[in-house]
Amino acid sequence: MKHQPNFLVSSSCLAVFAAFGLATLAPNSAQAAGLSKLKVSADNRNLVQENGKPFFYLADTGWELFHRLNREEAITYLDTRAKQKYTVIQAVAVAELSGVDDPNAYGDRPFIDRNFTKPATTPGADPKNAAQYDYWDHVDFVVDAAAARGIYIAMLPAWGRWINNDNGLLNAANAQEYGEWLGKRYAKKNIIWVLGGDRDFSGHEETIRLEAKGITIGVAGKEDYSQTLMTLHPCGSCSSAKWFHSDAWLDFDMQQNGHNPNVPVWTRLDRDRSLEPAKPVMDSEPLYEDHPVAFNAAENGYSVDADVRKFAYWDLLSGAFGHTYGHHSVWQMFAPGREQINGPTMYWFEALNRPGAAQMQYARALIESRPMFARVPDASLVVTQPKFDPSYIAASRGLDYAMFYSAEGRKILVKMGKISGEKVKAWWFNPRTGGAIEIGSFDNKGTQGFNPPSKGYNSDWVLVLDDVGKNYSAPGSAAPAAAKAK
């Protein structure tokens, strides 16, 4: 299906932009809290906080956040994503779009003479005066502002182009030194370290490994990877497992689906989940909202919210521990007077509340409304599968619940008896609204068919089956995920 954008650049965008510039710097007090250190769970399939509490990784790709936004704009962005229940922002310290050479919003560059071993810092600058900020002071400000809003920064030290293009400015000779400096500076901050950046790193493995070594030495004072949470963002249609799955520094695998409309992400997740040692895995860059489908808007149109929801639920019910959303205007922080990349249809501040961006919180709410650690993908729950990818039904289960995602409202034929309980309570969960409809109670045996309330494109539904005896609240509700007493 060829998609068309339904929101074009507004003629009054400059006035809107000015209005957004009035955003307050103060964090939302309800969200401001100290952030716990994160680590891989004991089962090596999820992320947890230090106290063992589950952590849901819901990220946005704000790649150019540090490079292109000023303080007020960054606060507008972070406030919006915090309100939409995102827990992580993926952003790049030295960005893709000429991040070495083009200055940030205050006219500052990250390095002296383009040298990664010479960060351009100004000791003694007034942190309250943006005019006295250096490049890294501004990064500090944004990182702290995110933490005040309960958001972790998944920080890429430098986009992949600076490693395998552009004369290899980041290379085996300087990667460890740069990594140490960066690790030391952000050792106590809300950072998930993400190396790489959208490139094939074949032939550059040593640079990546030295960068990882430098970061952990900077953080811990020695090469101790237990003190960092680290991964790698790969090229399109790739996984970090291609080069580094067995490396001690790589805590979880990231994939990228390549911005195509119907990628069988379930097979890719299965592949990485089958590797040893076992590690968590997720899709760190699916098809963005309002993006030229397969990079060809003329033939394929633009993606819409139905496309980004599809990948979120396919991923989460096929073994991903979390998910990343992206918008084509937001990743590049496209604004008036700024050169565009691949035809964005609106400015970043107009795109913040696009339907798909707001709907990701419903996926988080659904997963968190049932015991997260018990969730495993199980395609055998579906009796028959269509051959056409958009109709694929992803399925996962816990000990006492199961979830099924139908992207186009196709009937779901379920093999019963794979969760506990003589009877199950069935629900339809609406990914577009976050609401749930109770269907009824069914015997937990044999085969049972469930017809979604609507069918066709943009009629996606999640079927949830619960052991009746657990008395779970409605899927996606704010109630605790633990079973309730009757």
Per-residue confidence band for 170, with pLDDT thresholds at 50, 70 and 90: very high
Question: What's the pLDDT score for residue 70?
Answer: 97
Residues 158, 290, single domain; the answer is: yes
Residue labelled with tokens 């992400």? 265
What CATH number did the domain enclosing 284 receive? 3.20.20.80
- pLDDT of 456 higher than 60: yes
Here the CATH number for the domain that contains residue 453 is 2.60.40
Asked if residue 149 and residue 133 are part of one domain, the reply reads yes
Cα 486 to Cα 470: distance, rounded to the nearest angstrom? 8
Mean pLDDT (whole number) for 228-244: 97
User: Using CA atoms, how far apart are residues 132 and 138, in angstroms rounded to an integer?
Assistant: 10
Residue 246's pLDDT is what? 98
Is residue 383 situated within a structural domain?
A: yes
Q: Residue 23: which pLDDT band, with cuts at 50, 70 and 90?
A: very low
Per-residue pLDDT, 29: 34
What are the pLDDT digits (tens) for 359-390? 999 999 999 999 999 999 999 999 999 877 88
476 domain residue, yes or no: no
pLDDT of residue 482 exceeding 80: no
Same domain, 200 and 341: yes
pLDDT band at 32 (very low <50, low <70, confident <90, very high): very low
Same domain, 259 and 364: yes
> Does residue 314 contact residue 255 with C-beta atoms inside 8 Å?
no
- Average pLDDT score over residue span 165-186: 93
In this structure, is residue 359 part of a structural domain? yes
Share of the chain above pLDDT 70, in %: 90
Q: What percent of the chain has pLDDT over 90?
A: 85
- Is residue 347 located within the same domain as residue 395? no
Q: What is the pLDDT of residues 317-340, one digit of tens each?
A: 999 999 999 999 999 999 999 999
Q: Quote the CA–CA distance of 241 and 254 in Å, as a whole number.
A: 8
Q: Find the domain containing 396 and state its range.
A: 376-470
Same domain, 351 and 413: no
Burial (0-12, 13-18, 19+ Cβ within 10 Å), 366:
buried
Average pLDDT over residues 245-249: 98
For the chain, the C-alpha Rg in angstroms (whole number) is: 22
| pLDDT average, residue stretch 225-241 | 97
The string of DSSP codes covering 136-150 is: HHHHHHHHHHHHHTT
Q: What pLDDT shows up at residue 201? A: 95
pLDDT at 31: 36
Domain boundary among 320, 336, 368: 368
Per the model's pLDDT, the better-predicted residue between 9 and 56 turns out to be: 56
Domain membership flag for residue 6: no
> How confident is the prediction for the chain on average, in pLDDT?
91
Q: For position 386, what pLDDT does the model report?
A: 80
Sheet of 423-429, strands arranged across: 376-377, 393-397, 401-406, 461-467, 423-429, 436-443
Residue 34 has a pLDDT of: 75
Structural domain includes residue 446: yes
Res. 453: pLDDT tops 70: yes
* Band (471; pLDDT cuts 50, 70, 90): very high
What does DSSP say about strands 376-377 and 393-397: parallel, antiparallel, or unpaired?
Answer: antiparallel
SS3 118: coil
- Of 342, 368, 394, the domain-final residue: 368
CA quadruple 475, 480, 483, 486: dihedral sign: negative
Check whether 479 has a pLDDT greater than 90. no
pLDDT in the model for residue 4: 45
More confident residue, 158 or 126: 158
Please write the tens of the pLDDT for every residue from 52-109.
999 999 999 999 999 999 999 999 999 999 999 999 999 999 999 999 999 999 999 9
Instruction: Report the DSSP pairing between strands 281-285 and 54-55.
Output: unpaired
* Residue 288 and residue 412 in one domain: no
Q: How far is Cα 86 from Cα 153, in angstroms, rounded to an integer?
A: 11
Domain check: are 340 and 384 in the same one? no
Q: What whole-number distance in Å separates Cα of residue 302 and Cα of residue 373?
A: 36
Structure-token pair, residue 63: 């790649």
Peptide bond into 277 cis (omega under 30): yes
Q: How many domains does the chain have?
A: 2
Collect all residues with Cβ–Cβ distance below 8 Å to 109 and sequence separation of at least 6: 100, 101, 102, 103, 120, 135
Residues 37 and 55 in one domain: yes
Domain boundary among 368, 396, 423: 368
Do residue 189 and residue 227 come from a single domain? yes
Residues 6+ apart with CB under 8 A from 106: 70, 130, 131, 133, 138
Q: Is residue 302 part of a domain?
A: yes
Domain co-membership, 295 together with 403: no
Q: Are 320 and 45 in contact (CB under 8 A)?
A: no
Over 80: is that where the pLDDT of 212 sits?
Answer: yes
- Residue whose pair of structure tokens reads 């891989």 in the numeric block: 40
**Is there a domain that residue 91 lies in?**
yes
Of 258, 333, 315, 254, nearest in space to 288 by CA: 258
Q: Do 419 and 438 belong together in one domain?
A: yes
The answer, yes or no, to whether residue 22 has pLDDT greater than 70, is no
Give domain status of residue 263, yes or no: yes
Q: What is the pLDDT of residue 185?
A: 98
Instruction: Identify the band that residue 439 occupies on the pLDDT scale cut at 50, 70 and 90.
Output: very high
